[in-house]
């Protein structure tokens, strides 16, 4: 059986396993979770997380060197960031619109007096911008700080291009390092069905039906917005710009979305998503290696949808009518915050805290949605990684004519070897 089928079966069996324990053996579930599910899930997460930092370094360096021409690098970077900002704005608009029409929080008595949440402070924008340039790239690697690591890798790639043949040996080292990481991804993915089963069973077993039923309408709106965004925004981008069948895209990218669903981490899914994009979607390595690691760090479409729905939901629960200008503020704040808070732990809730404060809503309202946020986090992470891959496919299509034109001078050998 193919890996996709195994992961799909693991998702279903894990969900049923967790739900049955929650319903009929809830007293014994903590022991099963502590001694079986959590260890298996952590082993899988650790195996994938182990590869993230070296893959980001090797892939971004290789991608930058493969792009070669600094003008081309700037063009691809501009397209990538523009695509992410545009789709994030569209995503939160979809979330706001559906929540305003369906009104999941209207007339609900969810005990707002008991709702508590201690929000984390997002760093000032200027600090985020300054931290993009690492003072110590080795420390950034050790801490897993993606934006400084990406910046350092881009500079290394530019240095390889500038030095030409003098850096051939180092370029070979980077290529070989990247190949080793891809092999290890293949190796780790053999464990994916077991890790997926354990993670899903643990999440469903802890949540059960009680929390899900209490927040059913809110969850329905978020899930509906995620599907609308995937089908309409990504589907139209693939169909109209990339000239690719959206069904074929999602079929080829499903293994990565399944891993994203089980891990709830775009960064942890990065090795799998790059493999799927390059092998199943035929995205050139030079494009995939640059676009997808950047997207895993700053692209928050699924999270932005949650921001929009949660903001309207909390406003309705507290009986606050949001004006058009406030809704516009939500769109702008969430879109910019998706990049500004990229490296902050618990980025989704940090972003939501910023959004609620921007329109004067009580941050304590986040306590109302925490019960089901783990399950929704799985879904929105799947949408996040699908957005990264969609951007890679779109950028690759728009760069086809440029990639067919050979560059002049000392970059020729690199373009020939790395561009495709």
Given this model, what pLDDT does residue 412 score? 39
Q: What is the pLDDT along the chain (420 residues), one digit of tens a residue?
A: 677 678 778 878 887 888 888 888 878 888 888 888 889 888 887 887 787 788 778 877 877 777 666 777 778 888 888 898 899 889 989 999 998 888 887 766 544 444 444 444 555 556 656 777 888 888 888 887 766 887 888 888 888 888 888 888 998 898 898 888 878 877 887 887 888 788 778 877 776 666 566 567 888 899 999 999 999 999 999 999 988 899 999 988 988 898 888 877 777 788 888 889 988 898 888 888 888 888 887 788 888 888 888 888 888 888 888 888 888 888 887 776 666 555 444 566 667 777 887 778 877 777 677 656 777 888 888 898 999 999 999 998 888 766 555 444 343 333 333 333
Given this model, what pLDDT does residue 119 score? 45
Distance separating alpha carbons of residues 66 and 396, to the nearest angstrom: 13
Contact of 98 with 225, CB cutoff 8 Å = yes
DSSP result, 281-297? S---HHHHHHHHHHHHH
- Listed residue (382, 372, 374, 369) closest to 311, CA to CA: 369
CA angle (121 as vertex; 325, 370 as ends), nearest 5: 80
Given this model, what pLDDT does residue 4 score? 66
Distance separating alpha carbons of residues 391 and 277, to the nearest angstrom: 11
Q: Output DSSP code: residue 130.
A: H
Given this model, what pLDDT does residue 212 score? 62
Given this model, what pLDDT does residue 201 score? 82
Contact of 354 with 337, CB cutoff 8 Å = yes
- Listed residue (117, 103, 120, 102) closest to 365, CA to CA: 117
Supply 304's token pair: 């932005």
Distance separating alpha carbons of residues 178 and 286, to the nearest angstrom: 12
Please give the torsion angle defined by the CA atoms of residues 272, 275, 277 and 279, in that order, rounded to the nearest 10 degrees.
-140
Distance separating alpha carbons of residues 179 and 271, to the nearest angstrom: 12
């Amino acid at each position: 059986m193919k890996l996709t089928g195994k992961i799909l079966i693991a998702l279903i069996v894990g969900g049923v396993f967790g739900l049955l324990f929650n319903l009929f053996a809830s007293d014994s579930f903590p022991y099963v979770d502590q001694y079986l599910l959590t260890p298996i899930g952590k082993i899988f997460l650790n195996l994938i997380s182990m590869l993230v930092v070296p893959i980001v370094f090797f892939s971004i360096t290789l991608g930058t060197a493969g792009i070669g021409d600094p003008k081309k690098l700037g063009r691809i970077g501009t397209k990538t960031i523009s695509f992410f900002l545009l789709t994030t704005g569209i995503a939160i608009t979809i979330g706001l619109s559906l929540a305003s029409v369906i009104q999941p929080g209207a007339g609900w008595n969810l005990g707002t007096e008991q709702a508590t949440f201690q929000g984390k402070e997002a760093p000032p924008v200027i600090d985020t911008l300054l931290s993009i340039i690492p003072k110590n790239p080795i420390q950034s690697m050790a801490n897993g700080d993606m934006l400084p690591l990406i910046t350092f890798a881009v500079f290394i790639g530019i240095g390889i291009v500038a030095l030409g043949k003098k850096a051939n040996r180092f370029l070979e080292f980077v290529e070989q390092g990247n190949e080793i990481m891809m092999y290890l991804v293949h190796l780790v993915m053999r464990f994916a069905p077991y890790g997926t089963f354990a993670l899903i069973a643990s999440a469903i077993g802890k949540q059960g039906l009680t929390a899900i039923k209490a927040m059913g309408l809110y969850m329905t709106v978020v899930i509906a917005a995620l599907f609308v965004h995937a089908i309409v925004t990504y589907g139209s981008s693939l169909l109209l710009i990339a000239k690719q069948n959206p069904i074929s895209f999602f079929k080829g990218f499903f293994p990565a979305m399944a891993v994203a669903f089980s891990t709830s981490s775009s960064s942890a899914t990065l090795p799998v998503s790059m493999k799927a994009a390059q092998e199943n979607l035929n995205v050139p390595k030079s494009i995939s290696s640059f676009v997808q690691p950047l997207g895993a760090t700053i692209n928050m479409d699924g999270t932005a949808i949650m921001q929009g729905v949660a903001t309207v939901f909390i406003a309705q629960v507290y009986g606050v009518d949001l004006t058009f200008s406030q809704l516009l503020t939500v769109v702008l704040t969430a879109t910019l915050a998706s990049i500004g808070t990229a490296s902050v732990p618990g980025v989704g809730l940090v972003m939501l805290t910023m959004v609620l404060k921007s329109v004067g809503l009580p941050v304590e309202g986040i306590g109302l949605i925490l019960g089901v946020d783990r399950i929704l986090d799985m879904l929105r992470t799947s949408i996040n990684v699908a957005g990264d891959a969609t951007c890679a496919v779109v950028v690759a299509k728009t760069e086809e004519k440029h990639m067919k034109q050979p560059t002049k001078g000392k970059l020729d050998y690199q373009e020939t070897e790395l561009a495709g």
